[in-house]
């Protein structure tokens, strides 16, 4: 559910930025979806111009209870001008509290730090938008399903990469968005040169090594990288 919350938060703020009228109409109360979103800090990061019915929560669940649940990281904004210097540590430390008993825990910790750093740095380096990006983490009930979600409102991989490929790698430029996205993770393709796209490639390899799924969603395409059995 955290993945859907993060993506919807980005979408609603994008629509608001484009002067679209956005109304969220909740049929339940604080015990349902609205309460969950409030606890995760959704409304703290939602544009004040977005209408919420019947009304916005009168307090922030994330501010009131933040840090009290050791199995989640509430929605954190990713902003170039106001960097959350502790975000990487919070994500990694929370992951390790959930997975610290593994035999490969130390190696996992290093890999997780690298993956989170790469995803967040990509937002700083490539989003080219004044809108915030977001990250959150949640361990679901049962303790065997942990989800980390990172989203931004930038130009997107395809919009920034394809103009370069038309001159540098015409064969790649003819690929569909899905096929090109796969090659980005296979080859480490970047608009800044062959050696600049290895971060995403390396992050994908680390995630797969530790039996994690990597779900990459763009406006019109999606690639799900799954460890082989």
Q: What are the Cα distances from residue 55, in Å, to 42, 58, 98?
A: 14, 8, 35
So what's the pLDDT on residue 123?
A: 84
What residues does each domain of the chain span?
2-155, 156-229
**How confident is the model over 11-57, as pLDDT tens digits?**
999 999 999 999 999 998 788 999 999 999 999 999 999 999 999 99
DSSP of the chain:
-HHHHHHHHHHHHHHHHTT---EEE-SS-TTSHHHHHHHHTHHHHS-TTSEEES---SS-HHHHHTTS-TTEEEEEEE-SSS--TTHHHHHHHHHHHHHTTSTTHHHHHHHHHHHHHHHHHHHHHH--SSSPEEEEEEEPTTSS-EEEEEE--SS-HHHHHHHHHHHH-HHHHTS-HHHHHHHHHHH---TT-TTSSHHHHHHHHHHHHTT--EEEE-SS-EEEE----
**How confident is the model over 91-115, as pLDDT tens digits?**
999 999 988 888 999 999 999 999 9
Q: In whole numbers, what is the pLDDT of the chain averaged over residues?
A: 88
The closest of 140, 146, 145, 74 to 115, measured between CA atoms, is 146
**What sign for the dihedral angle of Cα 14, 123, 46, 148?**
positive
For strand 23-25 and strand 51-53, is the pairing parallel, antiparallel, or unpaired?
parallel
So what's the pLDDT on residue 29?
A: 77
Residue 223 CA to residue 183 CA, distance in Å, equals: 11
So what's the pLDDT on residue 143?
A: 66
Which residue carries 């209870």 as its tokens?
65
Sheet of 146-151: strand order equals 72-78, 133-139, 146-151
The closest of 154, 94, 158 to 120, measured between CA atoms, is 154
Residue 24 CA to residue 19 CA, distance in Å, equals: 16
pTM for this structure? 0.88
**How confident is the model over 109-146, as pLDDT tens digits?**
999 999 999 889 888 776 778 899 999 999 987 667 89
So what's the pLDDT on residue 157?
A: 76
What is the percent of the chain where pLDDT is above 70?
A: 95
So what's the pLDDT on residue 190?
A: 66
């Amino acid at each position: 559910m955290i993945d859907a919350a993060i993506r919807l938060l980005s979408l609603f703020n994008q629509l608001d930025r484009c002067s679209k009228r956005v109304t969220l109409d909740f049929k339940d109360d604080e015990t349902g979806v609205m309460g969950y979103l409030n606890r995760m800090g959704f409304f703290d990061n939602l544009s004040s111009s977005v209408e919420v019915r019947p009304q916005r929560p009168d307090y922030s669940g994330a501010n009131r209870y933040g840090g009290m649940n050791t199995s989640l990281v509430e929605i954190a904004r990713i902003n170039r001008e106001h960097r959350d210097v502790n975000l990487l540590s919070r994500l990694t430390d929370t992951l390790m509290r959930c997975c610290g008993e593994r035999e490969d825990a130390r190696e996992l910790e290093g890999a997780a730090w690298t993956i989170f750093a790469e995803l967040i740095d990509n937002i700083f380096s490539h989003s080219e938008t004044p809108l915030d990006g977001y990250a959150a983490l949640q361990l679901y009930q049962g303790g065997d399903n942990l989800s980390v979600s990172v989203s931004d409102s930038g130009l997107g991989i395809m919009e920034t990469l394809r103009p370069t490929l038309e001159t540098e790698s015409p064969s790649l430029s003819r690929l569909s968005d899905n096929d090109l996205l796969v090659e980005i993770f296979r080859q480490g393709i970047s608009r800044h040169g062959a050696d600049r796209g290895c971060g995403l490639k390396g992050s994908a390899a680390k995630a797969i090594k530790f039996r994690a799924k990597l779900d990459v969603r763009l406006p019109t395409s999606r690639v799900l990288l799954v460890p082989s059995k």
